[in-house]
Homo-oligomer: A and B are copies of this chain.
Amino acid sequence: MAGANHEMVKYTSPADAEFLYYGHCKCIDTVPATPDGKPTPALITRAALQEGNIPFLVVDAGTRVKPSIPFVSFGLEPGRNIISENAMDYSMVRRAFEYGELLGKQLAALSDLVVIGESIPGGTTTALAVLNALGIDARFKVSSSMPENPHELKNGVVAAAIKRAGTVGSSYEAVAAYGDPMLPSVAGIASGAVDAGGRVILAGGTQMSAVVAILKHNSKPLDKLCIGTTTYVARDPTADLAGLVSSISKQVPIFSCDLHLGESIKSGLQAFAKGFVKEGVGAGGASIAAMIKSKGRITGKRLLRSIEKEYETSIEIARH
C-alpha cells in the first residue's frame, strides 16, 4: 500500500500520524485506505490506544511532509534512495540515535513500558539492506504489505545498493549507506529507555529485527526488549520473523496478538488476515500494550469490535 503510488508515499507517514490524533487526516483529503477499503494500520493503533487509554507521542524522524500535529522533531532529513546514493549522512545517523536516547530516557521515567512503532514507506527494503550489511542474510525473510511478497524486487534493490556502497565498518555506517532515519531513531529511543530502567516493545514486523541488530552491534543490552506484532506478520508464510530475529539474538522474544480480523464483518479488515497490510504504525505492539495494561480485560475480540467501530467512523462514514 505504502508504495502503491510514488507521489503519494510522502504523505503516508504524516497521514498516519494525523490519523492517530484526529481519526482523520489533514495532509491528504482522502480517507486513509486503498480504494477497495483496506485501511491504514493506524486504524488499529488508534483503536488500541483509545481502548487502553494509552498516551502517545509522535516523532518526526525526517518526513518530507510535516504532519499537522504536535510532534517531536529529531531534526533529521528525509532518507534518500539507496540505489543511487547513501540514505543518510553519518552525522544524521548519530543525531538520530543520540536524540532517540535523550527522548527514550524521558519516556522510561514516565512509563515502565515504552512501545515504539513506525510508519515508513519501503522500510522493509532498507531494513533488509542494513541487515545484509551487518552480515545477516535476511533475504526472503522480510515481510511485505502485500500478499505477493516482492522479494526479488527488494533483493534487487539491495544488490544494487551494495554494488554502489560496498562493505561498512559499523552499524552507523550501515544505516548511513543502506538504511533510513527510522532505524537509528527507534534504536536510540529503545536504548535510552532501557538505559533508564524501562522495558521496551519494538512494535512492528521484520523492520524491528534491523533495530535489534543495530542495538546488538552497539553492545546495547537486549534483555529488556521484545518485539510485539500481529499474527499476520508473525505467521506470514512469505517471511520469517522468528528465524530472522533468532539469527540476530536469542534474547529478544517475539509476542504476537491475534486481532481476529479474519472474522470481521468488514472486508477491508478481513484483508489483513489475507496478507494485505498486516501491521504498521505500531498496531500489533499497541494492541499488546492495551492487553497488558488492562491485565487481559481487553482481548483480541474486544479490540476487533473497537477496530470495526473505528473503521465505520473513519472509513465508511467519511467516504460518504
Contacts and interface: CB of A to CB of B under 8 A. Distances in A.
A4 interface: no
How many copies the complex holds: the figure is 2
A53 interface: yes
A66 B75 contact: yes
Contacts of A106: 55-57
Contacts of A57: 72, 106
User: Chain A interface: which size bin?
Assistant: 20 to 34
Contacts of A105: 55
B102 A70 contact: yes
Contacts of A66: 73, 75
Given A57-B106, A106-B56, A109-B53, A68 B72 contact: no
A55 B197 CA distance: 13
A103 interface: yes
A42 B283 CA distance: 38
Contacts of A103: 70
Interface in A25-83: 53-57, 59-60, 66, 68-75
A70 B98 CA distance: 9
Interface of A: 21, 53-57, 59-60, 66, 68-75, 99-100, 102-103, 105-107, 109-111
Given A69-B102, A71-B72, A72-B72, 10 more contacts: A53-B109, A55-B109, A55-B110, A57-B106, A60-B73, A66-B75, A70-B72, A70-B74, A70-B102, A72-B73
27 contacts: A21-B102, A53-B109, A54-B109, A55-B105, A55-B106, A55-B107, A55-B109, A55-B110, A56-B106, A57-B106, A59-B70, A66-B73, A66-B75, A68-B75, A69-B99, A69-B102, A70-B72, A70-B73, A70-B74, A70-B75, A70-B100, A70-B102, A71-B73, A72-B72, A72-B73, A110-B110, A110-B111
